[in-house]
Chain A
Amino acid sequence: MGEWVQVCEVNALKDGEIKKFKLRNKDYLIARVGDQVYCFSPFCPHKGGLLERGKILPECRIECPLHGYVFDLHNGKPVLITYSPSYGKWRETGDLQVFPVLLSKGKVHVRVED
């Protein structure tokens, strides 16, 4: 199930900024969008693009820099697949791995895998 871990202060994150942190030797990304903070995998589920250099889009979405796929940070679901069905299995993607975030007393807590 995983435990809640304090990561940083909310004010340490600028709006639209993506930051990387390490927990138990694994990398994670967090991004602040308005008053909300999201925690997710650093790797795009499509072809492993590095999302730390992705772009935060309106409506709490992130665009992968490798092929432009867009994922919803609430649930990790793909909302834009930039290649037509003619690309077959190659264009398929899973969901972006997202992790629960709790904001408490100005601190960001995330619950990651064991």
Chain B
Amino acid sequence: MSEPGSSWKAEGKVPVVGVEVIEKSGVDVKRLIDKLVRATAAEFTTYYYYTILRMHLTGMEGEGLKEITEDARLEDRLHFELMTQRIYELGGDLPRDIRQLADLAACADAYLPSDWRKPESILKVLLEAEQCAIRTWKEVCDMTLGKDPRTYDLAQRILQEEVEHEAWFLELLYGRPSGHFRRRFPGEGPLSRKSPEE
């Protein structure tokens, strides 16, 4: 990973109060940026891989699953959008090479399984991806609780939606009730959408 903020460092050091105050609260900003870049990269790769997974939810059985997968897919993109801004505010940046971004992502590639004709196989991949995202964002929340309110707020919003996604896929796979009801529109992102017009 490139050194955080390498894209603008050459311009000279400028005081950033928004960073200074969280450093004083005990946040290791370099570590936090590293964590955020990895977590945010995982949202982007997941968005990409979910596109492929959704395409392969075919047939009568897959038809109902498409819509739910689409919600999770679009909301993961919103998570990427939401936290990217924070990375740059903190003085970090995303890798310039998308291949590097994929390699450092916090979660494994959600590859299309070889037996993709069984929807359960695809659902298991989706579930594993959501569970990794939950672990990752929970770590971010723990690193920032009481120290960095802005990052914490954004991370907990993402975490809440990831927990919902996990519950949806658990319900579909194992019949565990989740209270799922369809979003108002595909990929609504009730907690992560930056603006309703987006």
Chain A residues in contact with chain B, CB under 8 A? 26-27, 43, 47-50, 65-67, 83, 86-91
Contact = CB atoms under 8 A, between A and B. Distances in A.
B132 A67 contact: yes
B109 A66 contact: no
A36 B103 CA distance: 36
B105 A50 contact: no
A112 B38 CA distance: 27
A87 B108 contact: yes
7 contacts: A26-B28, A49-B139, A83-B108, A88-B103, A89-B103, A90-B103, A90-B105
Contact of B109 (A26, A43, A65, A87): A87
Interface in B123-177: 132, 135-136, 139, 142-143
A66 B35 CA distance: 12
B132 A90 contact: no
Give the interface size class of chain B.
Answer: 10 to 19
A80 B72 CA distance: 31
Contacts, number: 37
Contacts of B88: none
B108 A48 contact: no
B111 A90 contact: no
Given A49-B139, A50-B142, A87-B109, A66 B132 contact: yes
B28 A90 contact: no
Contacts of B106: 47-48, 66
B182 interface: no
Nearest to A22: B26
Please give me the 7 A-B residue pairs with the lowest Cβ-Cβ distance, nearest first: A89-B103, A47-B106, A50-B139, A90-B103, A66-B135, A48-B35, A47-B38
Given A47-B38, A83-B108, A90-B109, A65 B135 contact: yes
A74 to B, nearest CB: 25
A49 B137 CA distance: 11
Contacts of A88: 103
Contacts of B103: 88-90
Contacts of A83: 108
A77 to B, nearest CB: 21
A75 B34 CA distance: 24
B102 interface: yes
A67 to B, nearest CB: 7
A26 to B, nearest CB: 8
A92 to B, nearest CB: 8
B22 interface: no
Contacts of B105: 47, 90
A27 B32 CA distance: 13
